[in-house]
Structure 1
């Protein structure tokens, strides 16, 4: 029989990052949650946060200390070091009563251009980042399916998202902000990802999920609309053309769809990025 206390223990690798910390805050009231940080400040005295450097440290001591029932990987850093870390995670998960949720990316499809991509489409990547994510996905698929979940993410936005902060700074200083007029993307919010992860854990789901909006938008259009709603100041939009024709780097949910409450649209993402207090801040 599984131990309820053990199943309630969650360890988030990369819990100090933008997405990892949002997931941590969502799960904290409901689970016994632990996390790792590397260089981020403010976590040194937090008793449930452990310092972990993916390029220097091994995971075994930490895993044995926490004994998590669920591991969430939001790791960042050197790809070779991350791959080795996930080999350790795979080994641990395969031999313990434990499940791994791996945050992957739409970049596993950045070698495809013509259509949006769904959960069971053939992956094809040109970027080193996309190829790294594919390598970890394939590694995890060697263990029993009930032991892992692959969560592919699109462009992740939100009031405090790094990309939106960059947009605000560019607007404030009338500086350049790169947009891709021919690139069609899907998007989401970090808060929505956290809710979806919570649901997936509660329902003990497995498989590949595309945690993305149900619709798509041109890269340039969404950032220009967000900028126009944030205030009177505007960045200098620098158009970057990767290809002559429209190119898709969009993932959409199809087979593994979540209940309506846990879905999101492009319009809802734009609305969440342009809250009234933020508009006031930029206009004044």
Structure 2
């Protein structure tokens, strides 16, 4: 299979490229230098030259708080860029996998969201990602929309790395305990995308590591497992706090746990528990933790 990956230099993109290459597929890894997704003509030229069977669209504007003031920039990448890929993939006869987010929901409920629940994004970031979903659905005939959340991996900045740095340097660390979701290891998500793309089981999927926790509970697990696996020097005292104590420009969904109905009903194996993913992530860091934190 010929696979084009956008955002190939990013946290998820790098693991997606690795997963497809290890499986023996022909991969065109496109970062910003190789493909400007906001340029329709360039998208069409690249598709014509490579003739992909599948496009895994990992590129996105993900600066959630910055998007609140940079509305134009966020829509340009997440909506217009996705439109360009949707049009180009349809012309090439390729499948399109669009990576979306739990931010399409407002997070005001207290039960997991199913794939076809009504969306109600409150942040600009969430609104732009929802726009990308709609454009994918309306312009493609062979599409997968995969919503995920709380992503962490070896290649890029993420919550796990931030907590490892902070808990080594700060005497007290307050972490939000009233937002609940599902941490997701990029390696596990990439493996699911690889499996999904080789089918014709189109539609919307929720793909996170199984289980859920708050940010505070996630941090507790990070510290426990890092102490055991990395012998990590933790000097900080961990304290729970509320979202209200740390106001941010963009609203965060308080409860954004995603139900995996589509994975089950389509016969796929669910992603492993998030704690297991965290331990494998830390295991991958073992040979040189500082390399990945800098």
TM class, shorter-chain normalised? 0.7 to 0.9
Distance of 1:79 and 1:96 partners within structure 2: 26
Distance 1:184 1:190 in 2: 19
Following the alignment from structure 2 to structure 1, what is the Cα–Cα distance between the partners of residues 206 and 80? 25
Q: 2-side partners of 1:280 and 1:12: how far apart?
A: 28
Give the Å deviation of 1:276.
Answer: 8.6
Q: Is the 8 A contact 2:86 2:140 kept in 1?
A: no
- Describe the shift of the 1:127–1:177 C-alpha distance in structure 2 as closer, same or farther (beyond 3 A): farther
**Deviation at residue 167 of structure 1 after TM alignment:** 1.7
1:62–1:240: structure 2 CA closer, same or farther, 3 Å change rule?
Answer: farther
State the Cα distance separating 1:262 from its structure 2 match: 4.6
Offset at 1:187? 1.9
Question: How far off is 1:212 after superposition?
Answer: 1.2
Of 144, 147, 151, the residue aligned with 2:146 is: 151
Aligned to 2:271: 263
**TM-fit CA distance, 1:274:** 3.5
CA 1:260–1:202 in 2, change beyond 3 Å: closer, same or farther? Answer: closer
| Aligned 8 A contact 1:181 1:218 in 2 | yes
Normalised by the length of structure 2, the TM-score is 0.78
Aligned to 2:35: 52
Deviation at 1:155, TM superposition (A): 0.9
Contact 1:177 1:238 in 2 (8 A): yes
Call closer, same or farther: CA 1:90–1:55 in 2, change over 3 Å.
Answer: closer
Matched, 1:202 2:185: no
Alignment: residue pair count: 262
Choose which of 166, 172, 178 in structure 1 pairs with 2:162: 166
Q: Any stretches of 5+ residues in structure 2 without a counterpart? A: 62-72, 228-232, 246-252
Tell me the SS of whatever aligns to 1:152.
strand
Give CA deviations for 1:219-267 in whole Å, capped at 9, x if unaligned. 21111221132124144646552369x9312112013326575521133
For residues 3-14 of structure 1, the aligned pairs below 5 Å read 8-14=1-7
SS in structure 2 of the partner of residue 120 of structure 1: coil
Q: Please, which moves more after superposition, 253-262 or 211-220?
A: 253-262
Whole-angstrom distance in 1 between the partners of 2:126 and 2:116: 16
**CA separation of 1:128 and 1:250: change in aligned 2, threshold 3 A:** same
Indicate whether 1:213 and 2:209 are aligned. Answer: yes
In structure 1, the gaps of 5 or more residues are: 1-7, 39-49
- Mapped to 2, the partners of 1:111 and 1:138 lie a distance apart of 20
Contact 1:119 1:256 in 2 (8 A): no
Partner Cα separation in structure 1 for residue 89 and residue 200 of structure 2: 15
Change (3 A) 1:176 1:10: farther
1:233 pairs with 2:234: yes
The residue number in structure 2 matching 1:242 is: 243
SS of structure 1 residue aligned to 2:280:
helix
Alpha-carbon distance in structure 1 between the residues aligned to 2:176 and 2:207: 22
Is the CA contact 1:22–1:190 (under 8 Å) kept in the aligned structure 2? yes
Question: Structure 1 length as normaliser, TM-score?
Answer: 0.81
